[in-house]
Amino acid sequence: MTAPILRRLADLRARTAEWKRAGEVIGVVPTMGALHAGHLSLVEAACAACDRVIVTIFVNPRQFNNPEDLASYPRTEHEDAQKLAAHAVDAIYVPDPEEIYPPGFATTVSVEGLTDVMEGAFRPGHFDGVATVCAKLFLQTAADRAFFGEKDFQQLKVVRRMAADLDIPVEIVGRPTVREASGLALSSRNLRLSPDGRERAARLHAVMQEVAAELAGGKPLDGLVATAHERLREAGFAEIEYLELRAEEDLAPLVRPDRPARLFAAAWMDGVRLIDNIPVPAS
Ligand code: AMP
């Protein structure tokens, strides 16, 4: 059955109040729409772990540092609702912009430290936008659990820190990245790749896996990163913003995976900025 689309906070609260009274566990899956199988895996996890599930769709202008990216971000609400109809979703919250940013809105939630590197360094203001909108969505939905993808691993860490620091009583659940058969991580931005670019973009994951395997075998990081840059350029990536080994716990830079570690990358293909990360076995 198709879940109702709610655009007003008052309508959302009327429902969540009833669910809370009945002692039901509420799950939320925050998204920016253009839903794909990665989002739907979060929805499935939420449905399995919660009595009620809210999917939010809000293209949050405050987390875009690039106006062109915001303007060209895909908006497919009708198709999104159809995709969600196959799942036991109780409400689709597509807030009117003034429900998130009312006139005079003046508060920013800013997480320090974790946001200094990678996405935070290359996208100024991005994580302030993310942390602010997630804090609002957690408070608006009154969710007990919120589901996020490891595809945006740094975001997952930032949101978890923010919720803990602000005593928002929500458990942040991370779920693995869903990929195409080629290895390309699903992303709403993949819609903007040419068919050829989409094929070449899959090299990002392949090259990252090669680096991870060599690191696990004890090879030094520096040489591996230099070779990986070359291979990515050969594959047609115009710019590689970062390719870095970092600790899962605190995102500190590592030279070898001597504690739980991930390889993180951001690179441009066809004018589209792609990010990915994979776990690296300990060496
Ligand atoms: P977005 O709509 O891009 O803001 O993403 C909404 C949520 O879906 C975030 O928690 C993302 O990490 C997650 N997500 C995006 N792509 C994937 C994927 N390929 N696999 C799993 N989760 C994903």
Q: What percent of the chain has pLDDT over 90?
A: 98
pLDDT at residue 270, as a whole number: 93
- From 58, 151, 179, 275, give the residue whose CB has the most ligand 1 atoms within 8 Å, as the site to mutate: 151
Count of CB atoms situated within 10 Å of the CB of 50: 23
Over the stretch 104-122, which tens digit does the pLDDT of each residue have?
999 999 999 999 999 999 9
> Could you write out the three-class secondary structure of 157-187?
HHHHHHHHHCCCCCEEEEECCCECCCCCECC
For CA atoms 88, 58, 154, 238, the dihedral sign is positive
- CATH level 2 (architecture), domain 188-278: 2-Layer Sandwich (3.30)
Over the stretch 15-71, which tens digit does the pLDDT of each residue have?
999 999 999 999 999 999 999 999 999 999 999 999 999 999 999 999 999 999 999
Average pLDDT across the chain, whole number = 97
CA of 39 to the centre of ligand 1 (A): 5
175 to 53, 178, 211, 250, 261: CA distances (angstroms): 16, 9, 23, 18, 16
Q: Are 118 and 242 in contact (CB under 8 A)?
A: yes
pLDDT at residue 27, as a whole number: 99
Per domain, the residue ranges of the chain are: 5-175, 188-278
pLDDT at residue 2, as a whole number: 86
Cα 36 from chain centroid (whole Å): 13
Over the stretch 228-274, which tens digit does the pLDDT of each residue have?
999 999 999 999 999 999 999 999 999 999 999 999 999 999 999 99
CATH assignment, 5-175: 3.40.50.620
Burial of 254: CB neighbours in 10 Å, binned 0-12, 13-18, 19+? buried
**Residue 39 bears catalytic tag:** yes
pLDDT at 1 over 80: no
Same fold, 5-175 and 188-278: no
Ligand 1 atom having least distance to the Cα of 185: 19
Ligand 1 atom having least distance to the Cα of 155: 12
Give one word for 251, left, alpha or beta, with left for phi > 0 and alpha for psi -120 to 50. left
